[in-house]
């Protein structure tokens, strides 16, 4: 897997999926359409200030609330390369893996990063480097079971492979 580089956009605890993508846009499953409203209700400036590759950094329980997969789809399609949080809500975490949005658990990096910091992420090794602050961190490794899904390229490909094996 590649190395990701982008600037941090830092948020607090309990960022819910309603503010990531409000329900008023859920009559579409189109990634580009959803991306056009990503983070609208928590940070109206997000889309204007973000550059492709940028990284969302958040506190505890990121993605809590609704099971809408539209949330990680919107984040990914907006150009965000990965999300780093102190912790993730479980349905969001599943959805992120399933749609191929890297979601890294790293409380220290999440606590110490500031908006605008340049971050470098090595997904294979789980290394996070805050270039601006000169600090580096180790994210929690994915359990083996999830690594298989990630290695297959998401749950759709993983399931196709399982069915073919049967």
Partner 1 sequence: MGQTITEKILAAHSAQAEVHPGQFVMARLDLMLGNDVTAPLAIEEFRRITGNGKLPDQAKVVLVADHATPNKDIKAAEQCRVMRDFSREQGMEHFFDVGRGGIEHALLPEEGLVAPGECVIGADSHTCTYGALGAFATGVGSTDLAAAMATGECWLRVPESIRVMYRGKLRRWVGGKDLILYTIGLIGVSGARYQALEFCGETIEALSMSGRLTMCNMAIEAGAKNGIINPDGVTHAFMKSVTKRSYTAVLSDTDAHYARTVEIDCSKIELQVALPHLPENAKPASQVTNVAIDQSVIGSCTNGRIEDLREAAAILKGRQVHPNVRLIVVPATPRVHLQAIKEGLAEVFIEAGGALSTPTCGPCLGMHMGVLAKGERAVATTNRNFVGRMGHPGSEVYLAGPAVAAASAVLGRIGSPEELP
Dist. CA 49–CA 32, nearest whole Å? 17
When the beta carbons of 124 and 166 are compared against partner 1, the nearer one is 166
Here the tokens at position 22 are 């409000």
CB of 98 to partner 1, least distance (A): 4
Using CB under 8 A as the binding rule, whether residue 28 contacts partner 1 is answered as: yes
* Of positions 9, 37, 70, 76, contacts partner 1 by CB under 8 A: 70
- The angle, 0 to 180 degrees and rounded to 10, between the axes of the packed helices 90-99 and 155-165 is 70
* Of positions 75, 99, 106, 128, contacts partner 1 by CB under 8 A: 99
Using CB under 8 A as the binding rule, whether residue 145 contacts partner 1 is answered as: yes
When the beta carbons of 116 and 161 are compared against partner 1, the nearer one is 161
* Of positions 5, 47, 67, 107, contacts partner 1 by CB under 8 A: 67
- The angle, 0 to 180 degrees and rounded to 10, between the axes of the packed helices 90-99 and 144-152 is 40
CB of 146 to partner 1, least distance (A): 8
| DSSP code for 124 | T
Using CB under 8 A as the binding rule, whether residue 22 contacts partner 1 is answered as: yes
Sheet holding 127-130, edge to edge: 103-105, 82-85, 55-58, 3-10, 118-122, 127-130, 135-138
Dist. CA 129–CA 135, nearest whole Å? 6
Positions touching partner 1 (CB under 8 A) are 13-14, 16, 18-19, 22-24, 26-29, 40-42, 60-61, 64-70, 87, 89-91, 94-95, 98-99, 143, 145, 154-156, 158-160, 162-163
């Amino acid at each position: 897997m590649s190395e990701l580089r982008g600037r941090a956009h830092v948020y607090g605890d309990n960022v819910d999926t309603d503010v990531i993508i409000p329900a008023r846009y859920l009559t579409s499953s189109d990634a580009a359409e959803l991306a056009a409203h990503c983070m609208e209700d928590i940070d109206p400036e997000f889309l204007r200030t973000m550059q492709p590759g940028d990284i969302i950094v958040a506190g505890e329980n990121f993605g809590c609330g609704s099971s809408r997969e539209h949330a990680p789809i919107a984040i990914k399609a907006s150009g965000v390369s990965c999300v780093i949080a102190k912790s993730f809500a479980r349905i969001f975490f599943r959805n992120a893996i399933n749609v191929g949005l890297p979601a890294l658990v790293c409380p220290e990096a999440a606590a110490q990063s500031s908006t605008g910091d340049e971050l470098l992420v090595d997904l294979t090794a789980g290394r996070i480097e805050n270039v601006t602050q000169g600090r580096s961190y180790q994210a929690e490794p994915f359990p083996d079971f999830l690594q298989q899904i990630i290695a297959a390229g998401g749950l759709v490909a993983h399931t196709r492979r399982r069915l073919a094996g049967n």
